[in-house]
Structure 1
Amino acid sequence: MAKAKEVKPKSVKGEEAEKMIHDYLRRTNRPFSATDISANLKNAVTKQVAQKILEQLRDSGQIHGKSYGKQSVYVCLQDCLEEASSDQLMDLDRQIQTLKGELESVKAEYKVKSTEFQILNNSPSPAEIHQKISTLDKDIEQTKSKLDCLQAGSVKNVTEEEMKETLANHDFVKKGYLQRRKMFYNLWNLITDCLENPKELWDKLGFEKDEIMDVKQN
């Protein structure tokens, strides 16, 4: 079935177009450009015609116009608007109060949702939780395996005498290490005393400094 041909609205000009644009500005009481007005009136007035009429209304003092760069906007003069009745003003006050109540409700809901969002955003993702669970499961399995070995008696406990002997051997080795370390540096300082760049010789010989933790030279 052939698609129905779209019927374009008939464009108006002259006084009819002028009245249509002026009434629209008074009714909306908002600033618009010629392009906005033509689009909002469903192209009943072309952009070119709207621009011309807006300039004429501005020049005649019926509306106010102001340019922003290459674009001009137009708005109806406030003194051209009809004065609102007391009933209309009361109705507007009721609308304002209703909107204020809705605004406070929206603000309160926004605050709650923002707090919930922060909590969720700071919480680990499902992937991170699964990874953490997997790591803990491995730790539990390793700890359980060690515990089973201890309970089965397959691990020999170290006696107090063995512990003392081990510490004594450690102290003996450490003391010998510190003595040899001191002897080396005394000899090194004696040999390199006349050198301008001892570090160059150190690197050339391939020496490495001792980085053992908690070992101090006495």
Structure 2
Amino acid sequence: MASKQKSEVKVLKGQEAENKVLEYVRRMNRPYGAVDVAANLKGAVPKAATQKILVALAEKGELVQKNYGKTTFFVANQAKIDTLSPEKISALEEECKRLDEENKAIALQIKAATTELTKIKNLPSDSELDEQLASLKDAIAKRTVLLQPLRSGAPPISAEEIAQIDADWLKWREEWIRRKKTFNSFWQLATDSLPPQDATILSEDLGIEFDTPEHATLEKSHLCVDTKKNLLKRKRSTSHPRRQSIREELIAILYRLTPRPFYRQVVMEQSNHLIEDASKYDFTCIT
């Protein structure tokens, strides 16, 4: 490998060396020793020559020499350093203020441009707009097909048909509520002594399907909330023929639907409680 070549620094002598040292000390405008000046000049002026030049400049009044113990420092004579006049300082301050205002205005423009760029980036691209337009056109075409019968003069649904639909809705919703209430009551009695896990297994074995989240959502909708006030309580029959053999029928049904011996034993244990409370419920809907 080729050895690194040292950078050649021209060694100054005489007046050139003196001017170099004076220019450096004035430009830095801080105290320096001879060693520091020679080192900072990168060897342009030898150390011994630097010491002599600094002393000579101090004797001429260009520098001020300060001794601190055995250490000597040199600093530029502040009286010979050019200073700015008050008018020049005022002009520079005005210029600085003007530039600061321009910077603020440019910063506001950059902020506004950045905000606008962000909005543009959030807008859909040309391809996305084409897809949205195609989707909207397809939806319009489908709606137009649905409106075509009305435009051709076909009669809409009559008021009587609407009334019949509302009546059917109230009728079957009332029936559904009664059946659900009856089932929940008997299911609670049948599984009251079972752990939740066993009750779940029993419902799976019997193939019982409980309400789904869709049912719960429907119950909270205006269709059900508005009709709850209009549902009439159904009078319970006091002389239904099935009440004569309710004990035998209930035990037979539950025993037949319960496949496991353990659950059958539980059903038999709960049968007395079921029969005691059976008179509270209406069984006309269970046929």
Measured against the shorter chain, the TM-score band is: 0.5 to 0.7
For residues 50-61 of structure 1, the aligned pairs below 5 Å read: 59-61=71-73
Secondary structure of 2:135's counterpart equals helix
Task: State the 4+ residue runs in structure 1 displaced beyond 6 angstroms.
Answer: 13-19
Q: 1:189 to 1:19 in 2, by over 3 A?
A: farther
Q: Indicate the residue corresponding to 2:112 in structure 1.
A: 115
The correspondence of residues 165-180 of structure 1 with structure 2, limited to 5 A, is 165-180=164-179
> 2:27 corresponds to which residue?
27
- From 76, 91, 96, the equivalent of 1:99 is 96
**Does 108-117 or 121-130 show the bigger shift?**
121-130
Which residue in 2 is equivalent to 1:84?
A: 82
The AA in structure 1 aligned to 2:107 is Y
Sort the Cα spacing of 1:86 and 1:172 in 2 relative to 1 into closer, same or farther, 3 A.
closer
d(CA) in 2 for partners of 1:14 and 1:200? 107
Alpha carbons of 1:158 and 1:25: their partners in 2 closer, same or farther (altered >3 Å)?
A: farther
Q: 1:193 Cα deviation (Å)?
A: 1.9
Given the alignment, which residue of 212, 219, 228 partners 1:215? 219
Partner of 2:128: 131
Instruction: Show CA shifts across 1:62-120 (max 9, x none).
Output: 36xxxxxxxxxxxxx8x758443454x53243123112201111111211221231233
Correspondence for 1:161: 160
Please give the alpha-carbon distance, in whole angstroms, between the structure 2 residues aligned to 1:151 and 1:203. 53
1:20, CA displacement in angstroms? Answer: 4.2
Provide TM-score, normalisation by structure 1: 0.59
* Aligned residues between the structures: 180
Residue 62, structure 1, aligned to residue 61, structure 2: no
Judged with a 3 Å threshold, the aligned counterparts in structure 2 of structure 1 residues 125 and 113 are, in CA distance, closer, same or farther, namely same
Distance 1:14 1:184 in 2: 115
CA RMSD in angstroms comes to: 4.4
Distance in 2, matches of 1:143 and 1:81, equals: 89
The alpha-carbon distance between structure 1 residues 183 and 114, as it changes in their structure 2 partners (threshold 3 A), is same
1:150 corresponds in structure 2 to 147
Q: Following TM superposition, by how much is the alpha carbon of 1:12 offset from its aligned partner in structure 2, in angstroms?
A: 4.1
SS of residue matched to 1:167? helix
When normalised by structure 2's length, the TM-score is 0.47
Percent identity over paired residues: 18
Instruction: Report the structure number with the largest CA radius of gyration.
Output: 2
Distance across 1 between alignment mates of 2:183 and 2:7 = 102
Q: 1:148 to 1:193 in 2, by over 3 A?
A: closer
State the SS of the aligned residue for 1:60.
Answer: strand
Identify unmatched segments of 5+ residues in structure 2. 31-36, 51-64, 229-287
